[in-house]
A = this chain, B = another copy of it.
Amino acid sequence: MKYHVQVFVSLKPSILDPQGRTVERALSHLGHENVSGVRVGKLVEMVMEGERAAVEAQARALAETVLSNPVMESFRVEVRELAGA
């Protein structure tokens, strides 16, 4: 079975996010005063083949060891069955 896996990687709240700050300032200059707390992270998408439980475990392991830096970043994994695969 094939699965569409999404790994959302964001900086931990305690870590300064210069990219997010820059976007926030730009939005403020553009008049978007009602926007705050802008954080910019990564979204890694991939197709993984295998049995669901094994794919979920493997995706979590990849997120933890390859796709994110556990010191500064936190991650969330979503696994969806790929239709027609």
Contacts and interface: CB of A to CB of B under 8 A. Distances in A.
Interface of A: 8-10, 20, 23-24, 26-27, 30, 32, 34-50, 55, 58, 62, 66-67
Q: Give the oligomeric copy count.
A: 2
Give 10 closest A-B pairs by Cβ, nearest first: A37-B47, A41-B43, A34-B49, A38-B46, A43-B43, A39-B45, A36-B47, A34-B50, A35-B48, A40-B44
Nearest to A23: B44
Which applies to chain A's interface (DSSP): helix, strand, loop or mixed?
strand
A32 B26 CA distance: 40
A29 to B, nearest CB: 11
A50 to B, nearest CB: 5
